[in-house]
Every structure is written in structure tokens, then in C-alpha cells.
Structure 1
């Protein structure tokens, strides 16, 4: 199984199926290992992640690691955490921020990777694109979806994007950090090894 996963990851890192739509060019970002216990499915890499090739290597990632109560060493250990965005490459800039993740990615790759990660006990689905793809019978708004998190737990946990742009949302919805974040941390503390920062 591990060898099969390595082959799929090699294919993903060479993927160019939507290169004609990527102004910055393809640079698929993924982290996975057959032993991983936690999966993170976000939207798509931003400019800094595209430049460095390191997922969640930005202020959003700093907040996400705080939510998880994890240090960088554990977060970037593929044997513990798998990271696979809806769009694996940086999609480019739009009028109001980054463009949506390319629609080709998830249907092409997610179903090939997920069966090769048998130990995933919790998947964080971050933002509306991931939630629309993975959650059945979800409410219309992100706030209602995140509030209904127990409906899918522990297999899937819907989260708002940890972007600094969502600071106001977090202030308006203190129940998220009071109820959802401790639940995630409990799973992390029980199933992931390493120093939590």
C-alpha cells in the first residue's frame, strides 16, 4: 500500500492537467503517508505556499496550528498528518482574493489517495469548497455548517478558514473556539505523537 501511495504522489506532483489555467504554473502541494491519522482538506495553496512548496506556510497555517495545539514539526510530519487541498495548485488572483480551486483536482486525485490512508480517523474540511464536496445534507451557509459539526463528527469536522480575514467571524461565533476546537484537540492529543506547542 505504501508503495502504491508513493506512486500516486509521484503522479500528483507531476500533474499538469490544468496548467493552461494556472498563471503561476503547476506546483501541486500535498503531504501524505499511509500511517497518517489526521487529514486536512482546505481550499488551494496561496502565493507563499506556491513559492515555498510548504502547505499552510502562512498566517492561516499559524492559526490552524494553534487550533490543533501542534508545533510545526508534528504538523509537517506526513506520518501523522495528511494535507490535500481541493485544488492542489495555486489558482491565481481574482477580483476579491484568490480564485477558486481548480475543479479538475479533487475528482482526479482525492479518490485515488484516500483509500491509501487507512488510519485517518478525522478529516478537517476547511471552507465551503471542501464542505460542499464532502459533506452530505449540509446547511447552506458556512456558519450553519460549522455549527452542525456534530452531524459528521468525528469522520469530518467542518471548519471556517483560519485566514486572518476571518477574525471577525471568530469574534462573532465564540462557540467555535469554545466547543469545536477542544474536540479537535482531544483527537489530536490522543492520536498524534510529538510536542504540542
Structure 2
């Protein structure tokens, strides 16, 4: 496991396309029980070196009903984004995750993570990659039909403050999805 993490931390595969030197931000251990697959680290995570270290992370922890200590315990949660480094900023927010990371590193990581009970797929990029042909046409449909992807995957919208409008338009998310998500998390972590 240490060898794999060292290889990832030394990766320069997409260096020419990044606005800053590569700084992979991820965390996992042999005993991780839940894997969080998001998009890519944001600027705050890049600066601090801590994944989900922003308002999105606070909202995600609320959804999961876990505290910071639990969330950042790699024996409980593995955090492996689709793109490991901050991709930069575009006109309407952060750029998409670099496409090189997931096919290069995710299969190797998943081989090592033998205790994973649940994979949270946060956002369009994670769902497109992992659900592939089983994916619905939209992210909203994936989230609405989450039961079809259990017990392996739980698709979620991104917890960004920018998605509060989506949440207001889809009250079923807070009413139905969040309680089920919390139950799945408790079962996977045996809390």
C-alpha cells in the first residue's frame, strides 16, 4: 500500500496540463470501509493538502452524519477523486478532473482496498466512470434510482453550495436519500 501511495504522490502524468505542480490529494488505507469518489480537489484542498476541506466537505459530513475525526480516519473512509490534483479554474468554476488519473490509478487502488463495503459516487464524472452503461441519462436520475446501484455504489449529487438550488428543486433528496445514505454508512462502518 505504501508503495502505491508513493507512486501516486510522485505522478507527473498530466503535469503539463495543471496550473500548479502536481499535488495529489487523496487518502486511504487497507482497512478503509467506505470509498468516496469525488471530482477533483478544489483550490482550498490544494492549498491545505486536505481533501474536502471546504463548505462542500462540511455538507458531505452532514449528509453522512459523521464528524471530521471519523471522516478523516482512513480506516473508515478512503478518499479517491477522479482527478487527484487541482485542475485549475474555468469560467464557471473549477475545471473538470484530469482524465488520466482514474484509468491509470483507480484499478490499482481498488485492488488494494479489500475491505470496502460501499462506494459513494459524488458527481457526474464519478458516476459516468463507475456506472458506465448502467448509468441513467442524468445525474438526477442516477441519484433518484440509487437503490438500483446498491450494495456497491451510492450515487450522490455534489455537496457544493452551488447545488443548493438543485436540492431545493428536489426535496426528495433530503427527505429520502439522506436518511438512506446515513443508514448505508452506519452499516458499512458498523457504527
The alignment's TM-score, normalised by the length of structure 2, stands at 0.96
The root-mean-square deviation of aligned C-alpha atoms, in Å, is 1.1
Query: In structure 2, which of residues 4, 11, 16 is the aligned counterpart of residue 8 of structure 1?
Result: 4
Query: In structure 2, which of residues 84, 100, 105 is the aligned counterpart of residue 104 of structure 1?
Result: 100
Change (3 A) 1:193 1:51: farther
Secondary structure of the residue aligned to 2:134 is: coil
- Contact conserved, 1:74 with 1:193, CA < 8 A, in 2? no
The alignment's TM-score, normalised by the length of structure 1, stands at 0.93
Query: In structure 2, which of residues 42, 61, 65 is the aligned counterpart of residue 69 of structure 1?
Result: 65
Secondary structure of the residue aligned to 1:40 is: strand
- Match for residue 186 of structure 2? 189
Residue 84 (structure 1) aligned with residue 80 (structure 2):
yes
Distance in 2 (alpha carbons) for counterparts of 1:191 and 1:149: 16
- Cα shift at 1:192: 2.5
Query: In structure 1, which of residues 159, 169, 177 is the aligned counterpart of residue 166 of structure 2?
Result: 169
- How many residues are matched? 190
Deviations along 1:37-57, whole A, 9 cap, x unmatched? 100000000000000010000
5+ residue gaps, structure 1, are none
- Contact conserved, 1:31 with 1:78, CA < 8 A, in 2? yes
- Contact conserved, 2:118 with 2:188, CA < 8 A, in 1? no
Deviations along 1:137-159, whole A, 9 cap, x unmatched? 21111111111111101210110
- Match for residue 35 of structure 1? 31
Residue 148 (structure 1) aligned with residue 145 (structure 2):
yes
- List structure 1 runs of 4+ shifted beyond 3 angstroms: none
